[in-house]
């Protein structure tokens, strides 16, 4: 590829470098960036999140997201994931 030098001008992730060296679409399912995907929210988790939001949104002077994270029954969710899901809902 005569234009491959242009790709070197931009930052690459290890998965992108692997694709460049081994050929594009060489990554199999479950490799590279697909491993780091966030598990989707189940309807039950969304319902619990909504209930916790309505419970803690009226508390003044407190961090709503911190209170939700403390009482969220599913461990492993980050603050960013909770905020993003609340905005989406």
Question: pLDDT-based confidence at 15, cuts 50/70/90?
Answer: confident
The token duo for 85 is 């899901």
> For residue 66, what are the domain limits?
40-88
Q: Which residue has the higher pLDDT, 70 or 19?
A: 70
- Give the pLDDT band of residue 1 (cuts 50, 70, 90): low
The mean pLDDT of 76-87, rounded to a whole number, is 88
Alpha helix positions (H), 1-89: 4-7, 14-22, 43-56, 64-71, 79-88
Greatest CA span in the chain, whole angstroms?
Answer: 61
Is 46 a domain residue?
Answer: yes
Indicate yes or no: pTM above 0.75: no
Average pLDDT of the chain is 79
Residue 35 has pLDDT above 70, yes or no: no
56 within some domain? yes
Residue 2 located in a structural domain: no
On the 0-12 / 13-18 / 19+ scale of CB atoms within 10 A, 27 is middle
Instruction: Report d(CA 57, CA 68) in Å as an integer.
Output: 10
């Amino acid at each position: 590829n005569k234009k491959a030098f242009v790709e070197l001008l931009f930052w690459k992730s290890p998965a992108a470098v692997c694709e460049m060296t081994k050929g594009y679409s060489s990554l199999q399912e479950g490799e590279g960036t697909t491993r780091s995907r966030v598990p989707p929210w189940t309807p039950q988790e969304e319902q619990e999140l909504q209930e916790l939001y309505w419970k803690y949104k009226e508390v003044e002077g407190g961090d709503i997201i911190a209170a939700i994270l403390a009482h969220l029954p599913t461990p492993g969710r980050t603050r960013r994931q909770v905020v993003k899901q609340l905005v989406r809902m």
